[in-house]
Amino acid sequence: MQTLLVANRGEIAVRILRAARELGLRTVAVYSEADRDAPHTHLADEAYLLGPPEPAQSYLDSARLLDVARASGADAVHPGYGFLAENAAFAEDCRRAGLLYVGPSVEAIRQMGSKILSKQIAQRAGVPVVPSYHAPDAATLAQEGPEAAARLGYPVLVKASAGGGGKGMRMVERPSDLLPALEAGAREAQQAFGDATLMLEKYIPKPRHIEVQVLGDHCGQRLHLYERECSIQRRHQKIVEETPAPAVDPALRQRLASAALRLAAAVQYTNAGTVEFLVGAEGDVYFLEMNTRLQVEHYPAPGHYSLLRPYSGQGHHLWRHAPGSAPAYAGAPARVHHPRRHDEPSIFTRRDDFRGVCCRRNRYRLSRPPLRGLAASGRGL
């Protein structure tokens, strides 16, 4: 890898460009007309205009991005997060164009991009999943759904297979509400993801939402960065991320980490990813989904455990996981040290509703443990 094109904008583009510069790589930025003077355009060795401000005509235009890669002489592309970061077709297009896609394999993106398929893979890997039902098509789901929901036990969730962020999701408490929820969920899923495939899932009351960040290289080595608590949500959107999780004991921590690594191994996962779980009131662990990309809230875990330099985010590990590179963890400790105390957690905030500001990325060091008795629900406040 000599020249890296960062197919993104904003904070994540800045982090990646800084990390690439530190590693001596030549860098290429892209921008829309609205981002002509954005910080990331000044950090790169070259910057290319993609098109109008609308994402569909700029950052989501895969053909234009590949044209820029060819024109700039880039031999690698980093998608960042959002936009085309979990788009298997874009990763495949990069591969066919002879470009290194800095991310997981195309197959891993496809497998984990489907909630139905990812659950099947998780079950085969011995990872516990929420009891669920899926049908081969919408007609079968409408016909067999009522009986399946009765077996699961109400309330149930209607969920979009290709979805996230609560899009297409409906909680159904009574049999009479199931078919209307299926129809509404399918419409929303089709509009949001271009895929109306739905599934039914047992509703887990008052869960905690905990995720485990994983890293893998092309030599089969994988490690986890322990857990992040992200139960404080609004409308299924995470507001606060905290590591270490405030109420995870060593036994639960081990179960979560082991399950995350088993799933990563099952799809031969490379690069950075996040495995998300629900933890029930009785301590039962359920696989929720896997994000096959760098997350918006990626910083707390590696920053807290001093795995990476703060301003570079996860940059260094992204390059060291490139095909053909030396083992990413050669000579490194087999485990990341987990602090025993909780007096200095790393906190990441994504939304400040009092000020009306979204996505504030900050790291706070607290001088005392968090307040006890804070009630949080993985389904949102």
% of the chain with per-residue pLDDT over 90: 62
Tell me the C-alpha to C-alpha distance, in Å, between residue 226 and each of 208, 213, 376. 16, 7, 20
182 and 259 both lie in a single domain: no
Cβ contact 375:281 at 8 Å: no
193 and 225 both lie in a single domain: no
As a whole number of angstroms, the distance between CA 259 and CA 262 comes to: 5
Task: Residue 283: name the closest of 252, 312, 311 by CA.
Answer: 252
**Number of domains comprising the chain:** 3
14 and 156 both lie in a single domain: no
16 and 161 both lie in a single domain: no
153 and 237 both lie in a single domain: no
33 and 61 both lie in a single domain: yes
**Is the four-CA dihedral 64, 67, 73, 78 of positive or negative sign?**
positive
154 and 254 both lie in a single domain: no
Residue 257 sits in a domain whose CATH number is 3.30.470.20
End-to-end CA distance of the chain: 45
**SS3 label, residue 70:** helix
Instruction: Tell me whether residue 380 is in a domain.
Output: no
215 and 349 both lie in a single domain: yes
Average pLDDT over residues 161-189: 90
347 and 214 both lie in a single domain: yes
Express each pLDDT in 65-116 by its tens digit.
999 999 999 999 999 998 999 999 999 999 999 999 999 999 999 999 998 9
Domain that holds residue 309: 208-365
Report the catalytic residues: 293
Express each pLDDT in 178-202 by its tens digit.
999 999 999 998 988 888 999 999 9
